Structure 1
Amino acid sequence: MLSIHAMPDAFTKSECELIISMISQSPTNEALLVGSNKDHNLRKSELVWTDDVVGMEWVMDRLIELVRKSNRDHFEFDLREFAESPQVAIYKSSDSGHFVWHSDIGSGPASGKRKLTLVLQLSGADTYEGGDLEVMPGAQILTAGRAQGCVSIFPSFTLHQVTPVKSGIRHSMTVWAHGPAFR
């Protein structure tokens, strides 16, 4: 059965802190679902698209290499491109930041071609409470690694959620590898 592929030390603590610092200078957008839906019962977070941040090219290069290795060793999907910018999600306890159960294959031009989802844990595990990334590859719920710099990769059709952040702020980066739509 397909599951989560974890890469615990994909980024160093200092690299994660550099990414957070770089995006902190950028304006954030409120996360929107399905067009302009602002239903905060579904998702409450702020987003920064890294293509809009100067100097982040090295991050994308690393993410591409991690997806390539994970796909080769674990998934063997037909991957062709990265058609969307990586996004940094900022989940704040002051907003009860969260994202309810969903898959990354939905409506929208690129989402139907998403094959793999990669989530990079940017925040230190001890800097926030709650905010767990939970993935349901079958009947069992798995909690992704919280270690700073850990990457979790899973098929984009897999249900997953971010539980409400109870204290602190959780930063994570997500990118999707694309290919021909699943049949």
Structure 2
Amino acid sequence: MLALHTMPAAFSKSECDAIIRRISDVPTDEALLVGRNRDHNLRKSQLVWTDEVEGTEWVMERLIDLVRTANRAHFEFDLTEFAESPQVAIYKASDSGHFVWHSDIGSGAAAGKRKLTLVLQLSDADSYEGGDLEVMPGAHTLTANRTQGCVSIFPSFTLHQVTPVTSGTRYSMTVWAHGPAFR
């Protein structure tokens, strides 16, 4: 099975910039982990869910098409829905933005229903330092393409992290494709 599928130029620079502009006036939430407990040692970022942002409806349609294409060609998972809104994460150097090694399969009743994770690189790669999306499908680590508009797709059970942003701000959008629990 493919560990990390990359779709360069899935979105144009102007489309990525438009998404960032749309979310810039929306109040953000501090990332929550472990129920309602905030643990900045695990993750430090601000979040915006795009279902609350007017004028971003077209983004989800594009993301669905990209997941459908990648799944058919590379993963062949049983996908049935997108049960969560796309999430824009904002990692700022001024906040030591990061997200330690984790998987996206969820917990409780949701465990195993996230099948594929898609990450869209919204920021220009030259606008920040650090902030690499790293994926660890086994004993080695892969670094996702930082090119603005590039999409990276990987199985949600795969360990991954965002290294600390040391300069500037990294914007990325994540969405999860769901299906019956893995067996």
Q: TM-score, normalised by structure 1?
A: 0.98
Question: What CA distance in whole angstroms lies between the structure 1 residues aligned with 2:162 and 2:109?
Answer: 24
Structure 2 portions without partners, runs of 5+: none
Cα 1:111–1:92 change in 2 (3 A) is farther
Q: Is residue 42–residue 100 contact of structure 1 (8 Å, CA) maintained in 2?
A: yes
Tell me, which stretches of 5 or more residues in structure 1 are unaligned?
none
> 1:110 offset after TM fit, Å?
3.5
Provide the rounded CA distance (Å) in 2 between the counterparts of 1:110 and 1:17.
32
Deviations 1:58-82 (A, max 9, x none): 0000000000000000000000000
Partner of 1:28: 28
CA distance in 2, matches of 1:20, 1:144: 20
Q: Could you tell me how far 1:109 is from its partner in structure 2?
A: 4.2
Partner Cα separation in structure 2 for residue 91 and residue 46 of structure 1: 7
Q: Which amino acid letter does the alignment assign opposite residue 175 of structure 1? A: V
Structure 2 equivalent of residue 88 of structure 1: 88
Distance in 1 of aligned mates of 2:39 and 2:169: 21
- Length-normalised TM-score, structure 2: 0.98
The one-letter code sitting in structure 2 at the alignment partner of 1:2 is L
- Corresponding letter in the other structure for 1:136: M
Aligned residues: 183
- Ranges of 4+ aligned residues in structure 1 off by more than 2 Å: 108-112
Secondary structure at 1:174 match in 2: strand
CA distance in 1, matches of 2:108, 2:55: 28
Shift of 1:35: 1.1
- Residue of structure 2 in register with 1:45 after alignment: 45
Q: Deviations over 1:112-171 (max 9, x none)?
A: 300000000000000000000000011110000000000000000000000000000000
Distance (whole Å) between structure 2 residues aligned to residue 95 and residue 25 of structure 1: 19
Structure 1 distance, partners of 2:157, 2:119, is 14
Q: Could you say what secondary structure the match of 1:161 adopts?
A: strand
Contact 1:84 1:110 in 2 (8 A): no
- RMSD (CA atoms): 0.9
